[in-house]
Structure 1
Amino acid sequence: MFARSLFVGVLVTMWGAPAFAEEPTARVVKFHGYTEAIEIKLGKTRAVLCPQAGGRVLEFSVDGADAMYFEAAEKNWQPGKPGPITAGRFDYGPELTVTPHPKAWGGEWTAEITKTNSVKLTSPPEDGGIQLTREFRLVPHGKSVGLSCKQTMANVAKETREVCHWGRSFSPGGGICVIPLGDRPSRFPSKYAMYEDNTVINVKATDERIRERDGFLEILAPPRKPKLGFDTYAGWLAYVMPNDTVFVKRYPTYPDRVYNEAAGLTLSVWSPNGPQIELEPIGPREHLKPGESASFIEDWWLLSHPFPKKGQQIDLKALAEQVAKQTIVTK
């Protein structure tokens, strides 16, 4: 459902001097079963957004290489027939205590393409009192183009609510997840927490598929338990994929604020034995009085980077330098 103030194809200069001859464009497209998807494009970078089910990213690609895992069963989506919600998902928590919010998770959102060819998606208000907006824009930086993803959580209830941002995007499995530990000591002896089951969070876990090296953790393959949590304040993670690309997420962290997930996490990764991996930046606790709102931004980048051959390993220093040079944090 589109807002009446819909603008398509209006080109204006934004973010100062552009790094590309053209400017971002936006248009309504069909994407498998979705008939009202919105494509935003700049150069070889393309994002496809979904207002019809869950207000999310269906594709984020550069020159055809896609950072998103889009489940085959979702290709047959039809209005009124709930199906899987995959690819570039966002959510809000805290996970164990948040009120269910099916309208935001999989319901129909309204959409607006702005005069600057950014896209604003708005959820229905939830019975639990939270309404979401998500704003997406392509951001040029040198030869790279990132996708800025801003989620705003508004309290439309009559009572105070406490929530936190929770990114939950799916990427194709088979890659290596790299997590910088930063310069603050972890609270967890293992530098990560492993969710053993629904009631036990193990902060002294060991797993041969999770390696600490040169100030980073590497998830080399699905561990014995898929859900992992981290308390790093470095503010980015990288997922190196077998197609010689790296999916980078950058996001703010707040060492002096409370994080209200059960283990005080700033980041989670769900890595099962299967075709996808979930990369999950987490925001701090937001104490929202009626009428108040809070926002959180994830910046996504898809860069060229070699996947290590058998017997080799990622050059972590070079990867960190690439992230610093080829990506930026937006506001």
Structure 2
Amino acid sequence: MVPRFLLVVSFVAVGIPIGIATAEEPTAREVTFHGYTKAVELKLGNTRTVLCPQAGGRVLEFSVGGADAMYLDDAEKQWQPGKAASISAGRFDYGPELTVVAHPKAWAGEWTAEITKANSVKLTSPSEDAGIQLVREYRLIPHDKLVGLSCRQTMTNVGRETREVCHWGRSFSPGGGICVIPLGDRPSRFPSKYAMYEEGTIINVKAADDQIRVRDGFLEILAPPRKPKLGFDTYAGWLAYVMPNDTVFVKRFPAHPDRVYNEAAGLTLSVWYPTGPRIELEPIGPRERLKSGESASFTEEWWLLSHPFPKKGQQLDLKALAEKVVEQTAAPK
């Protein structure tokens, strides 16, 4: 059945200015990346991304000048064909988390890959009983002195039953940084401005934690809190993760106050920040009720910018950070 409309999820990551010439063209080629023998590298100037069709259709690396926004597990660096992978780095998924039909092949199975242009790679998920087919197209986008990474994901219901799903970004970045979430101009449903997932399925909306604070219209996660999984109902549409290497990873995403969000706490965003080497940054899309053959759309944008990490005893200038995000991530569509 031909889909009535398509789901398109676009992620745009724009890096630090690198002074590329307008005549320079991006390149795409198959490479070996640790144990992955069929990885695909996209490169333009000093912006590089490595894609993984052999396990989950993900981004293994997104870096500018060697500063990588992705966290790759050490165990995954030892991957060999025929062995299960530790799925880390630039992961994408769909939910809702507690009720979605399991889809292990899309999550960790081998995808097909096609280099469609010099700067474009199309990855397609394997078929499985969950009834959702995923297609992701990755391409580099030069803009002035910036280089972006765009990912377009198409999610189509290829089964017979109507399914309710939502977009779920699940990428890992290196830990040790400060996560900044703008609260926007709409009041939160949560008294603490966030929900903390306690033991089991308990969701605490009146939590307090020394590592989480609200300041100047933003919520800051300064370090791993006592419980790692947090949820937010902000409609501001972006988050920033400031890393100790003076790089800030920004995700932009649409948020719709007039739509239903079907995660258990109606979240537009989640952050998982355990003690250890990584943090998970998770934009969440609204509910999409898909009949057989239907799809829906969602767009994420990723940006990699230069920004100083605060020295001991100092704190982030949140206003300056927000101004930089607005100024440098407003790329033309």
The 5 A counterparts of 1:154-193 are: 154-193=156-195
Give me the whole-angstrom Cα distance separating, in 1, the residues matched to 2:32 and 2:199: 40
1:328 maps to amino acid: A
1:91-121 per-residue CA deviation (whole Å, 9 max, x = no partner) reads 1100000011000000000111122521111
Alpha-carbon deviation of 1:227?
0.1
Whether the 8 Å CA contact 1:141–1:327 is kept in 2: the answer is no
Structure 2 residue aligned with 1:96: 98
Distance (whole Å) between structure 1 residues aligned to residue 187 and residue 55 of structure 2: 40
Q: Which has the higher contact order (CA 8 A, sep 6+)?
A: 2
State the TM-score, normalizing by the size of structure 1.
0.92
How big is each residue's C-alpha offset from its partner over 1:157-191, in whole Å with a ceiling of 9 and x where there is no partner?
Answer: 01111100100000000000000111111111111
**Which residue of the other structure, out of 275, 281, 284, is the alignment partner of 1:282?**
284
TM-fit CA distance, 1:328: 3.2
Paired with 2:315 and 2:146, the residues of 1 have a C-alpha distance of 25
Q: 1:197 to 1:142 in 2, by over 3 A?
A: farther
Give the residue type in structure 2 aligned to 1:236: W
Q: 1:140 aligns with which of 139, 142, 145?
A: 142
Aligned position for 1:216:
218
- Seen in structure 2, the aligned counterparts of structure 1 residues 213 and 21 have a Cα distance that, compared at 3 Å, is farther
1:307 aligned residue: 309
Once the two structures are TM-superposed, the CA of residue 330 in structure 1 deviates from its matched residue by: 6.9
Q: How does 1:22-41 map to 2 (within 5 A)?
A: 22-41=24-43
Using the TM superposition, give the Cα deviation of residue 21 of structure 1 relative to its aligned residue in structure 2, in angstroms: 3.7
**Structure 2: stretches of 5+ with no match in the other structure:** 1-19
CA distance in 1, matches of 2:194, 2:166: 20
Asked if structure 2 preserves the Cα contact closer than 8 Å seen for 1:141 and 1:326, the reply is: no
Shift of 1:298: 1.7
Question: 1:69-107: per-residue Cα shift (whole Å, max 9, x none)?
Answer: 001111111122103101000111000000110000000
Cα shift at 1:326 = 1.2
Partners of 2:118 and 2:296 lie apart in 1 by: 23
State the AA in 2 paired with 1:218. E
- The CA RMSD measured in Å over matched residues stands at 1.4
CA deviations 1:253-298 (Å, max 9, x no partner) are 1111111000000100000001000000001111111011123222
Query: Secondary structure, in 3 states, of the residue corresponding to 1:295?
Result: coil
The equivalences for 1:61-140 within 5 A come to: 61-115=63-117, 117-140=119-142
Which of structure 1's runs of 4+ aligned residues deviate more than 4 A? none
CA deviations on 1:23-80 (whole Å, 9 max, x unpaired) are 2221111100001111111211111100000000000000001010001111111122
Partner Cα separation in structure 1 for residue 150 and residue 322 of structure 2:
20
The corresponding residue for 2:12 is: none
What pairs up with 1:213-292 in 2 under 5 angstroms?
Answer: 213-292=215-294
DSSP 3-state at the match of 2:130: coil
CA contact (8 A) 1:250 1:329 kept: no
**Residues 283 and 296 of structure 1 are in contact (CA less than 8 Å); yes or no, is this contact kept in structure 2?**
yes
- What is the alpha-carbon distance in structure 2 between the residues aligned to residue 314 and residue 113 of structure 1? 41
Distance in structure 2 (CA, Å) of the matches to 1:326 and 1:126: 40
- Given that 2:139 and 2:149 are in contact with CA atoms closer than 8 Å, whether structure 1 keeps it comes out as yes
Asked if 2 retains the 8 angstrom alpha-carbon contact of 1:142 and 1:326, the reply is no
C-alpha separation between the residues in 2 aligned to 1:97 and 1:23?
44
